[in-house]
Structure formats: C-alpha cells, structure tokens
C-alpha cells in the first residue's frame, strides 16, 4: 500500500479522507502517526497558499508524499469584517481544537450577525 502524509493535526479531517483513499490503495498518515509537528507560518493570502506552505514544509522533513488542505468558514449575511475566513480555528490569537471551535461559534453566533438570530 502506498503512503501519503496529510499535513494536518486535525484528526477528524484526516478521517474524512482516509477511507476513500484506502479504497484506492493509499494509506493516509497524519502528523500524529509520524510523531512530527513543525511550526509552519501560515502567512499565505488564502487557504490554498497556506496548504502549499504546509505541504512544502512537511515534504522537506519527511521522505514521503505530502498533501495539505486548509478550510475557510463563510457565514452568510455576516459583514465581511466579521467573517472568520481562513482563521476559523485561530480566535483572539489562540488556536482552537474541534470542541473549542464549536463552543466558540455556538456561544458567539449572534455577535457575528447584524441582527440577532431568533
């Protein structure tokens, strides 16, 4: 089976891709699997550029093919200046895990909108 590194610390994101790729004979490894985590400055202009930065950085320190994927969050009817965009996990300078991210957006959803949701 061929191996590929998914340059993400997000285990739930990795699980979403693993099953389909395994059916194609590709084993998806994560940063946890290789016990490696390097600090990659995600200073791209968008999610695509940040993905490329991560893939290239991990490619330099591993000997296996690497892919990366970043997400954006767009909330309909929310002013542009309040959009999380590509910083969906980074809130007030802190990187959030899945549970913290869901808690933050659930607790603060009304503050994003011009009018509170009913």
Q: What is the pLDDT of residues 79-102, one digit of tens each?
A: 888 788 888 888 888 888 888 888
Please report, rounded to a whole number, the percentage of residues in the chain having pLDDT higher than 70. 95
- 5 phi/psi in degrees, rounded to 5: -95, 125
Is the pLDDT reported for residue 116 higher than 80? no
Q: Which of 28-37 are b and which e, b meaning 16 or more Cβ less than 10 Å from the residue's Cβ?
A: bbbbeeeeee
pLDDT tens digits, 60-78: 999 889 999 888 888 888 8
Helix H or strand E segment including 4:
strand 2-6
Q: Of 37, 70, 71, 98, which residue is the catalytic one?
A: 70
Residue 102: the pLDDT is 86
Residue 28: the pLDDT is 92
Told to judge if 37 belongs to the known catalytic residues of this protein, a careful annotator would answer no
Tokens read off for 84: 């999380």
Helix H or strand E segment including 94:
strand 94-95
Q: How confident is the model at residue 118 (pLDDT cuts 50, 70, 90)?
A: low
């Amino acid at each position: 089976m061929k191996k590929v590194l998914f340059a993400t610390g997000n285990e739930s994101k990795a699980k979403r891709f693993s099953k389909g790729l395994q059916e194609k004979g590709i084993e998806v490894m994560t940063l946890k699997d290789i016990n490696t985590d390097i600090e990659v400055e995600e200073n791209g202009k968008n999610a695509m550029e940040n993905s490329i930065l991560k893939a290239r950085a991990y490619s330099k320190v591993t000997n296996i093919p690497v892919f990366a994927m970043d997400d954006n969050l767009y909330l309909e009817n929310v002013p542009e200046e309040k959009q999380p965009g590509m910083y969906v996990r980074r809130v007030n300078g802190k990187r959030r895990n899945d549970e913290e991210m869901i808690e933050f957006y659930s607790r603060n959803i009304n503050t994003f909108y011009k009018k509170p949701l009913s």
